[in-house]
Amino acid sequence: MVKAPGEAGEAVEELLSRVGTEPGPAVALEPEPPDGRVAVVTGGSSGIGRATVVAFARSGTHVAFNHLDAGKESRRAAEETREMLRETGVGVFARAADVRDPKEASAFIAEARDRLGGLHVLVNNAGIGRDRALWRMTDDEWRSVIDTNLSGAFYCTRAAAPYLRDQEFGKIVNVSSVHGLSSEFGLANYCSTKAGLIGFTRSAALELGPSNVNVNAVAPGYIRTTELTDRVPAEMLDRARERSVLGRLGDPQDVASVILFLCSEASRHITGAVIPVDGGYLI
């Protein structure tokens, strides 16, 4: 039988009153240590990594980052990043560490936690590209990209997981790529790692979720960094701009902002997700 308008209104009011008084699930509040949260970012000396550590520091989060010691230029970039972070007044720990080596990765995570007094956030950002047609790709070009982009994320996550599980809180963000979702010529090694990171993100989210650890990924498109502009031909960058519905390349800060969101309590009910930061490149 159809209710009269007055009766329908009363029924809705009754329902809303019940919803407002019935107990809901408890909100899991993040633990706030006395000196603030600690974020570890791999590959933090330049590009997206640098933008991310600076954004964390400006928000009051203590930060640790590593860099691969590949010579004078890489050491200079790391020192420039340290100087930028010192201006924020937060705790900073940085050193050279090769995430391709499981022992080095584990030691870096443990030392960062000890130096800064905790570990709450891990951003697996370290990555390289060695582009070449697959029939010309060398064993070293294949292995170095796999070992850095995919195995490195696994080694660091494995090292951080016991700490995050023990405290029943943590945020992990893996930096994948639009090329983990859509391939291009000459990127067989890179695309394999970035697609693998998406699968790894979902598996880690499943396994760490019961310990209140969120694991997500970002998938940047073409982002203006020194490495990108040095490595990618200008005509390819022009095509990327044309393909983006926003008509532009992204900036490292565009990605860092999404990473900070995924590491905040505003995203506490998001896990196992992949968020493109691509200006509509994949549409």
- Residue in this structure with the two tokens 């090769």, named with its chain if needed: 98
Going from the C-alpha of 229 to that of each of 68, 222, 235, the distances in angstroms are: 20, 10, 11
As a whole number of angstroms, the distance between CA 62 and CA 117 comes to 9
Catalytic residue among 155, 190, 222, 281: 190
> 190 catalytic, yes or no?
yes
With b for 16 or more beta-carbon neighbours within 10 A and e for fewer, the 206-223 pattern comes to eebeeebbbbbbbbbbbb
Dihedral angle, C-alpha 75, 76, 78, 82, nearest 10 °: 130
Is residue 124 within a helix (H) or strand (E), and if so which, with residue range?
Answer: strand 121-124
As a whole number of angstroms, the distance between CA 67 and CA 81 comes to 11
The pair of three-digit structure tokens given for residue 272, joined into one six-digit string: 């196992």
Distance of CA 235 to the CA centre of its chain: 29
Q: What are phi and psi of 67, to 5 degrees?
A: -145, 155
As a whole number of angstroms, the distance between CA 105 and CA 122 comes to 12
As a whole number of angstroms, the distance between CA 128 and CA 218 comes to 16
Residues carrying an active site annotation: 190
